[in-house]
């Protein structure tokens, strides 16, 4: 039976509420009254209050202040607010503080009766769950981190998957556990994020996903436990088994979570619902759910039950990519991408896309692109070794969608570069710029070719065709030009000049300089001295005048 407290500074209003509703028919045996916040607190001190029916506007302390006090000291009490004003600010504060409902005066007694019935039903349900939940109340009482560590050790088999071993480990760690308990694991896997996040931002997003899973999938803290089991992966462990009628409900809950993730957290998520198991069977079921995610290369944002995705009885043949290679060499990127996507989508529609088939397709397609780059004289391992390309490749085998993202990227980047190579001045200018930046270093033809992702022989051909010089002759020409400028216009020693342009051997520098200038470095400097001193003298005379 329940007790109700009415708090209102108007005695007439209190009497009207006490007599206007058949409280006993609702199971309320005691109806008490208070006319201020202080009186209400006194009643709470001496009586058990199940439901608080409270006016918001009172002269000595508001109903909102009373509710805040009640929430802190008597959290099991349900509160219903009464007010004369339809003020949104009041309503918002009431909701934030945990008020069950918000009614406008004058209160229709039938409406009040319905709200009180709702409060009683809510309390009855919570009491039932508290009394009969297999272990929910224990998880609330115990330190969450210790419980989480225990279950992670069970999943990763740091605790052997045996009834006795798990029971002993639970006892040693003071974790509530029984061999008779039944659990239902649900694996939540983030398949991809729609944007790149910094490490800090990703941690924030992962926290938001976890809180959403607790609200949407678990719904109540005493219903189970949520474990972060790996990168972009969480496991919800619900207490109790799953009746056949629960399948549709669980699927709807998971679909609601997936929708929220897409709309609010900008990511694709798939949910894998396991079968009811006991503690010593949890690790094996967790591994089955992980395999289900690995095998799922066809669908994103899906809900699947354990054992629902059989492998096709016979493998699909891989496409003949020889024609694609010809099209790719001719620059028909859209046609090649379209053909590749069409093959993948067909396998998805027919339910025939397996991890192995996707992996083989990716290998063949990569070989095709590398062949075209080789024909063009481009180093594939140089062009496609940037972090974004490597990340796309690493993810390509995870799903059809990731494979398509990788195909578009690798074809686009490869053909963009082959087109720039065919426009040789741009590549030659890149090579020249690299040479200028590294004149003081020991650089080779291979270093320059690697910088522009080309085969050294191919770069040499187009460089000479464009400049009339080989790469080595151009490099020497640039170095000796700088050396001549330094000798003529500075007082640096000849050895210092040699070092500035990448010559550690002074004698070799002198020989090369004389070969191209017809005199050694000292002779060249002396030949430029009269002109230099004459210029300095003229500037000095000009300054005096």
Q: Of 105, 132, 159, which residue sits at a domain end?
A: 132
Give 14's contacts (C-beta < 8 A, 6+ positions apart).
Answer: 6, 8, 33, 35
Whether 303 shows a pLDDT value over 90: the answer reads yes
Looking at the structure of the chain, the number of domains it has is 4
Residue 416 token pair = 């963009």
Which residues have a Cβ under 8 Å from the Cβ of 430 and sit 6 or more positions away? 451, 452
Res. 346: pLDDT tops 80: yes
Predicted pLDDT of residue 478: 85
Interacting residues of 360 by C-beta distance below 8 A, sequence separation 6+: 318
Q: What is the pLDDT of residue 313?
A: 56
d(CA 186, CA 202): 22
Of the candidates 166, 182, 178, which has an alpha carbon nearest to the alpha carbon of residue 239?
A: 182
Say yes or no: 403 and 334 in one domain.
yes
> Could you tell me if 348 and 370 lie in one domain?
yes
Q: Which of 20, 36, 49 is nearest to 107 (CA)?
A: 20
Residue 438 in any domain: the answer is: no
Q: Are 168 and 296 found together in one domain?
A: yes
Q: Which residues neighbour 495 within 8 Å (Cβ) at sequence distance 6 or greater?
A: 506
Whole-number average pLDDT of the chain = 83
pLDDT of residue 457: 82
Closest CA to 241 of 273, 219, 212, 283: 273
Q: Is residue 482 part of a domain?
A: yes
On whether both 291 and 352 belong to a single domain, the answer is no
433 pLDDT tier (thresholds 50, 70, 90): confident
> pLDDT value at position 258?
95
Boundary residue ending a domain (422, 452, 487): 422
pLDDT digits (tens, 9 = 90+) for 241-255: 655 447 888 899 999
- Indicate whether 314 belongs to any domain: no
**116: in domain:** yes
- Lookup: tokens for 5: 């407290």
pLDDT of residue 495: 85
Shared domain for 35 and 52, answered yes or no, is yes
| Whole-number Cα distances in Å, 485 to 90, 249, 490 | 81, 82, 8
Same domain, 142 and 112: no
Where is the domain boundary, 77, 99, 132? Answer: 132
**How many C-alpha atoms does 145 have within 13 Å on its Cβ side?**
0
Do residues 179 and 281 share a domain?
Answer: yes
With CA atoms as reference, report the closest residue to 422 among 432, 414, 410, 411: 414
* Helix/strand/coil for 196: coil
Our CA angle for 299, 264, 398, nearest 5°, is: 25
Which residue, among 298, 389, 385, has the nearest Cα to 344 in the 3D structure? 298
- Helical H segments across 37-189, by residue range: 37-46, 63-73, 88-97, 109-132, 136-141, 144-155, 163-172
Distance CA 493, CA 51 (A): 96
Q: Are residues 82 and 148 in the same domain?
A: no
Looking at the structure, tell me whether residues 399 and 331 fall in a common domain.
yes
pLDDT at 507 over 50: yes
User: Same domain for 103 and 244?
Assistant: no
* Cα(1)–Cα(412) distance, integer angstroms: 72
Q: Are residues 147 and 223 in the same domain?
A: yes
pLDDT digits (tens, 9 = 90+) for 398-426: 999 999 999 999 999 988 888 776 665 57
pTM: 0.54
Q: Classify residue 313: in a domain, yes or no.
A: no
> What pLDDT digit, counting tens, does each position of 3-59 carry?
999 999 888 888 988 888 889 988 899 999 999 999 999 999 999 999 998 888 887
Q: Classify residue 217 by its DSSP letter.
A: I
Residue among 413, 422, 474 nearest 448 (CA) = 474
Peptide bond into 106 cis (omega under 30): yes
Residue 131 has pLDDT above 60, yes or no: no
Centroid of chain to Cα 86 = 42
Domain span including residue 57? 2-132
pLDDT digits (tens, 9 = 90+) for 215-240: 999 888 778 889 999 889 999 999 87
Q: Is 10 in a helix, a strand, or coil?
A: coil
Residue 521, pLDDT above cutoff 80: yes
The DSSP 8-state label assigned to residue 21 in this structure reads S
What are the phi and psi torsion angles at 355 (to 5°)? Answer: -55, -40
Can you tell me the distance from the alpha carbon of 13 to that of 105, in angstroms, rounded to the nearest whole number?
10
- Whichever domain contains 59, its CATH number is 3.40.50.2300
Is residue 386 assigned to a domain? yes
Cβ atoms of 301 and 262 closer than 8 Å: yes
Q: Are residues 143 and 33 in the same domain?
A: no
* 49, part of any domain: yes
Do 240 and 134 meet the contact criterion of CB atoms below 8 Å apart?
A: yes
Q: Which helix (H) or strand (E) element contains residue 305?
A: strand 303-305
Percent of the chain beyond pLDDT 70? Answer: 88
Give the domain CATH number at 296. 3.30.70.1230
Per DSSP, the residues of 404-430 read: HHHHHHHHHHHHHHHHHHHSHHHHHHH
Q: Look up the CATH number of the domain holding residue 474.
A: 1.10.10.60
Q: What CA–CA distance (Å, rounded) separates 332 from 36?
A: 81
- In a domain, residue 539? The reply is no
């Amino acid at each position: 039976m329940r007790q109700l407290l009415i708090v209102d500074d108007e005695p007439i209003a209190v009497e009207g509420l006490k007599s206007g509703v058949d409280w006993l028919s609702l199971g309320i045996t005691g109806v008490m009254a208070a006319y201020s916040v202080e009186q209400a607190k006194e009643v709470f001190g001496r009586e058990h209050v199940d439901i608080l029916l409270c006016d918001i506007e009172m002269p000595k302390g508001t109903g909102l202040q009373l509710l805040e006090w009640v929430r802190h000291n008597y959290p099991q009490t349900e509160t219903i607010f009464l007010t004369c004003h339809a003020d949104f600010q009041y309503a918002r504060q009431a909701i934030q503080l945990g008020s069950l409902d918000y009614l406008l005066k004058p209160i229709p007694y039938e409406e009040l009766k319905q709200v009180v019935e709702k409060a009683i039903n809510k309390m009855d349900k919570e009491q039932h769950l508290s009394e009969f939940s297999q272990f929910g109340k224990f998880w609330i009482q115990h330190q969450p981190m210790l419980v989480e560590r225990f279950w992670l050790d069970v999943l990763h088999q740091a605790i052997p998957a045996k009834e006795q071993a798990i029971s002993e480990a639970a006892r040693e760690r003071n974790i509530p556990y029984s061999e008779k308990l039944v659990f239902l694991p649900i694996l939540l896997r983030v398949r991809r994020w729609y944007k790149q996040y910094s490490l800090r931002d990703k941690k924030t997003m992962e926290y938001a996903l976890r809180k959403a899973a607790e609200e949407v999938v678990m719904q109540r803290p005493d219903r189970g436990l949520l474990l972060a089991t790996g990168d972009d992966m969480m496991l919800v462990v619900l207490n109790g088994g799953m009746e056949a009628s629960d399948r549709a409900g669980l699927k709807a809950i998971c679909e609601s979570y997936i929708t929220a993730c897409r709309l609010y957290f900008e990511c694709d998520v798939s949910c894998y619902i396991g079968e009811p198991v006991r503690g010593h069977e949890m690790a094996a079921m967790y591994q089955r759910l992980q395999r289900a995610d690995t095998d799922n290369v066809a669908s994103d944002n899906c809900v699947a039950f354990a054992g629902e995705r059989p492998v096709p009885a016979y493998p699909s043949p891989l496409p003949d990519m020889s024609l694609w290679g010809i099209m790719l060499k001719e620059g028909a990127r859209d046609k090649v991408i379209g053909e590749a996507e069409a093959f993948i989508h067909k396998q998805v529609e027919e339910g025939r896309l397996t991890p192995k088939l996707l992996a083989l397709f990716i290998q063949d397609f990569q070989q095709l692109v590398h062949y075209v780059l080789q024909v063009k004289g481009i180093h594939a391992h140089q062009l496609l070794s940037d972090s974004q390309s490597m990340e796309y490749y690493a993810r390509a085998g995870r799903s059809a969608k990731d494979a398509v993202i990788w195909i578009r990227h690798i074809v686009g980047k490869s053909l963009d570069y082959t087109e720039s190579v065919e426009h040789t001045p741009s590549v030659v200018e890149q090579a020249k710029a690299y040479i200028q930046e590294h004149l003081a270093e020991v650089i080779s033809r291979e270093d320059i070719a690697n910088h522009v992702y080309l085969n050294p022989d191919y770069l040499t051909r187009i460089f000479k065709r464009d400049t009339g010089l080989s790469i080595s002759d151009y490099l020497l020409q640039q170095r000796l030009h700088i050396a001549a400028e330094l000798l003529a216009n500075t007082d640096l020693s000849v050895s210092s000049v040699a070092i500035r342009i990448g010559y550690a051997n002074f004698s070799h520098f002198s020989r090369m300089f004389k070969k191209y200038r017809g005199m050694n470095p000292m002779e060249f400097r002396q030949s430029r001295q009269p002109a230099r001193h004459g210029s300095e003298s003229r500037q000095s005379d000009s300054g005096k005048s």
